[in-house]
Structures are given as structure tokens and as C-alpha cells.
């Protein structure tokens, strides 16, 4: 090991031991990633991080958490002056600053405009979106396509209005109650939000008398996300207008570098067709879907859930079989079950056939990855390559080709192709 490497390791160890929560720790990997440390700041900090346009407002976190202190942080000019308010810990706020996610600036927001408005310049006031916010039969407000949207097309990019630490959104089993700290933090976050109507105009499903309006809107419309490993709820107003469907025609993903929620078509969408995403994991039978959707405060009336009983039962049977095959794969990996080569091939083809029949588009990537790994472990590199290629093709339907996830799929495929060539 070189003297330089030793010096870096020693310096890193000393820095980790001596740094306080308001000091930066040197991270060599972050330096090479272009990520720079921002010290944690709270209401006691003399010189707060300049990206925040208000002094942090902090209260002790709920007693049943280890957060210590939760603070409101706001950026007035975020997303072309619509604003952003965060309720999170000082460390997680500092993490977002260090990644550049809260101050990527006009270039990122212009990109959002370019995507949403079909490449037209921001100065063009007569722009045709790929969608419109309109009445959806039996669902209130929804998102409807205004022109053909092809599979894998990005048609919407939304930035958050508010992000809230999960400790302020307790389980709904607790009768809609919020921690005592919640209302004051919610109100401060709302007061500091530049465009408050972007949040308050969204649906409120719970209507509990003791729920703050922000609490109700978050419960009804927000999506789960993680900030440096800690759970939060993110409110993306445009994305929140997209209704749930158990047989969706679109998917969403979070770009952690910009905090953009990107919506992509997972199959061709016709003009006039409602755009839907799944709020819950794909592949669940109807009873489990209904139970999961209670957390969102509604009963699903999508085409799959309102199909004739015979069709619903057939779909549930296929999904139950898919889950059974995946359990078998798990038992095979653990060495608890052994199958013949032909049996494994038959199971592989069956699970793909079921997923395709049920149109579980985003789950297909996961299934193809699992089959790639298992065929590789079985020593059949040709089969591993076949499923690795399918994983890459499936991922194109919802993942940008520039993401690390997609690049990882391509790297795995290249390695396997090399191994198959050598055998």
C-alpha cells in the first residue's frame, strides 16, 4: 500500500472519530463522485447553509423515534419558484445539499419543461401537453392522454412541493392522529412554501378533525422515498394527479440526483385513455390489493378489480401460481428443493408467460434478473444470457438508459456474453 493510501485511510478514521454532527467528514469516494459535504444545520446554527431561504425551524422529534430533532427547511426558488419545504433531520437535509438535489438550478427545471411540453421552449405559451388533468369516470380528477404516447416514452416530470419524515405520518390504525409536533411543523412548512395552492389543491381523503391539512394531503397523495436510508413521504403534485390502476399503463421512478419523479409509459397509450400507475407492488391478488389500498383511503374501481368474477378469479389464480413459482425459486437457491433441468426450464418459461399475461411490466425486469442469476448458477451461460438480454429490454420500458441500474444490467449482460463465448 502506498504512503498516500495509508495517509487517506488514517485521515478518514481520525475525521470520523473527531467530527461533530455540524462538521463535515472527508469521504474520498464522495469527492470522486462530485459530491461535496455540507454540514448539518439547525435552529442553533449561526451561519446556516445559503441554499435554505429561511432559518431552520426545529422541534424535538416524536419520542418513539431516534431522529432527535426535526426541522423545516425551505427553498423559495426551487422548481422555477414554486418552492420546496422539507421536514427532516439536520443530517438528512445536509445530505440533500451535498448531492445537489435541492439546488440543481434552472437547467434541471428547464429539462422538466422540455419533457412535459414536447420539446417546446419555455417562452411558448401555446403548448400541447401529452396529457391533461381532467375528470376520470368514477374517480374524480385524473390524467388523460391527449396524444399517442409510445411505450417507454417519458411524458411527465414532476418536482416535489414537500418532503416529510415518516415519523410525522404514523400508521392510520392510530385513528388519524399525528404526533404533537406535527401541526406546528406542517404549518411552518406550508407558510414557507412559495406556491401553496400547488399543495392545498390536492385531494384530502381522510377528513379527520385533528388532521392538519398538510397531514391529510400527504396521506392521500404522497409517495414513499428514502433520503440517505431514512424513510420519508414526498409530495409530487403533478404525479399525484395520476390515479391508481392494478393493470397500469405507466410507471414512475425517482431521480435521486434531481428529486424529479419521472413518469414513463409501460405500453402504448391512446389519446383519450386514462393514464394509471400502481400505488402498490405488482402481482398481488385482489384481496391483498384491496387491503394494501386502504392505506390510500379508497377502494379500487380499475378495470381489473371490476372485471367479471370469472376473469378476476382467473387472474388471481395466475398471480397465486406466479408467487408459488417464486417461492420454489427461493427454495432452490437455498438448497431446500431440487428440480431437473427440464423442470427448471419449464418453470422459467411459465413464470415469464404468466407475468406477460398479467402485464406485470416492471416486475418482468425483476423476474428476468432472478432467472439470469439462477441459470448462471446452474452453469448454463447461454440461458443466462437469454434472460439477461430480456432484463435489459424490459428495463427500457421504465428505466432511463443513463441510470446506474441500467448500466449495471448492461455490464452483467456483457460479462455473461463473454463467458458464453468462451464455453
Tell me: the pLDDT tens digits for 223-278? 999 999 999 999 999 999 999 999 999 999 888 888 999 999 999 999 999 999 99
Supply the pLDDT for residue 220: 86
CB 260 within 8 A of CB 112: yes
Higher pLDDT, 3 or 105: 105
Higher pLDDT, 129 or 37: 129
Supply the pLDDT for residue 175: 46
Tell me: the pLDDT tens digits for 316-338? 999 999 999 999 999 999 999 99
Residue 415 has pLDDT above 50, yes or no: yes
* Intervals of CATH 1.25.40 along the chain: 309-422
Mean pLDDT (whole number) for 206-235? 87
Mean pLDDT (whole number) for 47-75? 83
Distance separating alpha carbons of residues 58 and 51, to the nearest angstrom:
17
Supply the pLDDT for residue 206: 63
Supply the pLDDT for residue 37: 62
Residue 196 has pLDDT above 50, yes or no: yes
Q: Which uninterrupted H or E stretch holds 168?
A: none
* Residues paired with residue 88 on neighbouring β-strands, in sequence order: 71
pLDDT band at 348; cut points 50, 70, 90: very high
Higher pLDDT, 23 or 62: 62
Supply the pLDDT for residue 207: 61
* Intervals of CATH 2.170.270.10 along the chain: 38-281
Burial 364-397, CB ≥16 within 10 A → b, else e: bbbbbbbbbbbbbeeebbebbbbbbbbbbebbeb
CATH fold for the domain made of 309-422: 1.25.40
Tell me: the pLDDT tens digits for 135-180? 887 777 899 999 999 998 999 999 999 999 998 887 544 444 556 7
Residue 22 has pLDDT above 90, yes or no: no
Supply the pLDDT for residue 217: 92
CB 316 within 8 A of CB 286: yes
38-281 is classed CATH 2.170.270.10: yes
Higher pLDDT, 9 or 311: 311
**Radius of gyration of the CA atoms of the chain, in A:** 24
Share above pLDDT 70 across residues of the chain, in percent, rounded to a whole number:
79
Amino acid at each position: 500500500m502506498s504512503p498516500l493510501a495509508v495517509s487517506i485511510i488514517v485521515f478518514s478514521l481520525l475525521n470520523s472519530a473527531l467530527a461533530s454532527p455540524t462538521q463535515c467528514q472527508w469521504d474520498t469516494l464522495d469527492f470522486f463522485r462530485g459530491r461535496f459535504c455540507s454540514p448539518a444545520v439547525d435552529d442553533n446554527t449561526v451561519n446556516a447553509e445559503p441554499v435554505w431561504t429561511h432559518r431552520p425551524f426545529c422541534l424535538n422529534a416524536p419520542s418513539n423515534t431516534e431522529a432527535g430533532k426535526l426541522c423545516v427547511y425551505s427553498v423559495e426558488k426551487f422548481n422555477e419558484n414554486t418552492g420546496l419545504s422539507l421536514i427532516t433531520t439536520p443530517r438528512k437535509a445536509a445530505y440533500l445539499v451535498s448531492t445537489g438535489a435541492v439546488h440543481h438550478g434552472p437547467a434541471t427545471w428547464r429539462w422538466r419543461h422540455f419533457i412535459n411540453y414536447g420539446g417546446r421552449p419555455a417562452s411558448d405559451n401555446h403548448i400541447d401537453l401529452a396529457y391533461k388533468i381532467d375528470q376520470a369516470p368514477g374517480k374524480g380528477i385524473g390524467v388523460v392522454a391527449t396524444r399517442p404516447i409510445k411505450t417507454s416514452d417519458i411524458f411527465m416530470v414532476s418536482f416535489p412541493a414537500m418532503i416529510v419524515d415518516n415519523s410525522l405520518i404514523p400508521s392510520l390504525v392510530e385513528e388519524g392522529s399525528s404526533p404533537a409536533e406535527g401541526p406546528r411543523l406542517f404549518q411552518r412548512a406550508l407558510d414557507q412554501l412559495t406556491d401553496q395552492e400547488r399543495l392545498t389543491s390536492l385531494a384530502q381523503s381522510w377528513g379527520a378533525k385533528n388532521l392538519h391539512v398538510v397531514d391529510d394531503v400527504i396521506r392521500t397523495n404522497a409517495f414513499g422515498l428514502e433520503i440517505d436510508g431514512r424513510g420519508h413521504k414526498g409530495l409530487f403534485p403533478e404525479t399525484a394527479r395520476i390515479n391508481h390502476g392494478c393493470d397500469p399503463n405507466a410507471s414512475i421512478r425517482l431521480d435521486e440526483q434531481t428529486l424529479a419523479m419521472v413518469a414513463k409509459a409501460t405500453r402504448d397509450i391512446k389519446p383519450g385513455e386514462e393514464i394509471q400507475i400502481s400505488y402498490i407492488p405488482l402481482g398481488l391478488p385482489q384481496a391483498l390489493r384491496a387491503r394494501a389500498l386502504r392505506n390510500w383511503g379508497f377502494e379500487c374501481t380499475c378495470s381489473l378489480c371490476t372485471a367479471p368474477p370469472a376473469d378476476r378469479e382467473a387472474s388471481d389464480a395466475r398471480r397465486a401460481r406466479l408467487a408459488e413459482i417464486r417461492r420454489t425459486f427461493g427454495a432452490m437457491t437455498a438448497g431446500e428443493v431440487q428440480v431437473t433441468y427440464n423442470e427448471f426450464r419449464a418453470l422459467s418459461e411459465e413464470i415469464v408467460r404468466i407475468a406477460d399475461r398479467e402485464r406485470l411490466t416492471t416486475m418482468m425486469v425483476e423476474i428476468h434478473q432472478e432467472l439470469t442469476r439462477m441459470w448462471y448458477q446452474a452453469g448454463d451461460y447461454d440461458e443466462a444470457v437469454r434472460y439477461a438480454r430480456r432484463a435489459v429490454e424490459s428495463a427500457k420500458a421504465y428505466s432511463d438508459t443513463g441510470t446506474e441500474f441500467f448500466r449495471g444490467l448492461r455490464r452483467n449482460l456483457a460479462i455473461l456474453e463473454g463467458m458464453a463465448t468462451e464455453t
